[in-house]
Amino acid sequence: MQGYELLYVLKPDLAEEKVTEVQEKIKDILTKNKAHIVADEVFGKKELAYPIKKFKQGYYLRIEFEADGKALKEMDRFIGITDTIIRKLCVKLESIREKNKEKEPVA
């Protein structure tokens, strides 16, 4: 299984219960597809760097997990049909770690 990090932004006008509901649904989809969740964080409501779909704020959430292709496809499908998610970014963790190693000075 490959390690991934998903950062997603929800609409700012959502109730706390709805934010938790979307967060739990994503975790549920991943665990049903045999993914292992490493970390799960809610950063809360923050200002966006630029407006997204006419919103100037959003709820930032992050989840780190290990999964295969099936879990990623199902998660991506859910995010695509959920209108409360205004932006998402999913990256492989291995590629980030490799880039950081390249930048470190050799002693």
pLDDT tens digits, residue range 62-101? 999 999 889 999 999 999 999 999 999 999 987 555 656 6
Just give the CATH number of 2-103: 3.30.70.60
pLDDT value of residue 5: 94
Question: Per-residue pLDDT tens for 6-59?
Answer: 999 999 999 999 999 999 999 999 999 999 999 999 999 999 999 999 999 999
Q: Which pLDDT band holds residue 105 (cuts at 50, 70, 90)? A: low
Task: Give domain limits for the chain.
Answer: 2-103
Residues 6 or more apart whose Cβ sits within 8 Å of residue 16: none
User: Among candidates 78, 96, 76, 65, which has minimal Cα distance to 21?
Assistant: 78
CA 15 to chain centre: 19
0.95 cut: is pTM over it? no
The model's confidence at residue 1, banded by pLDDT at 50, 70 and 90, is confident
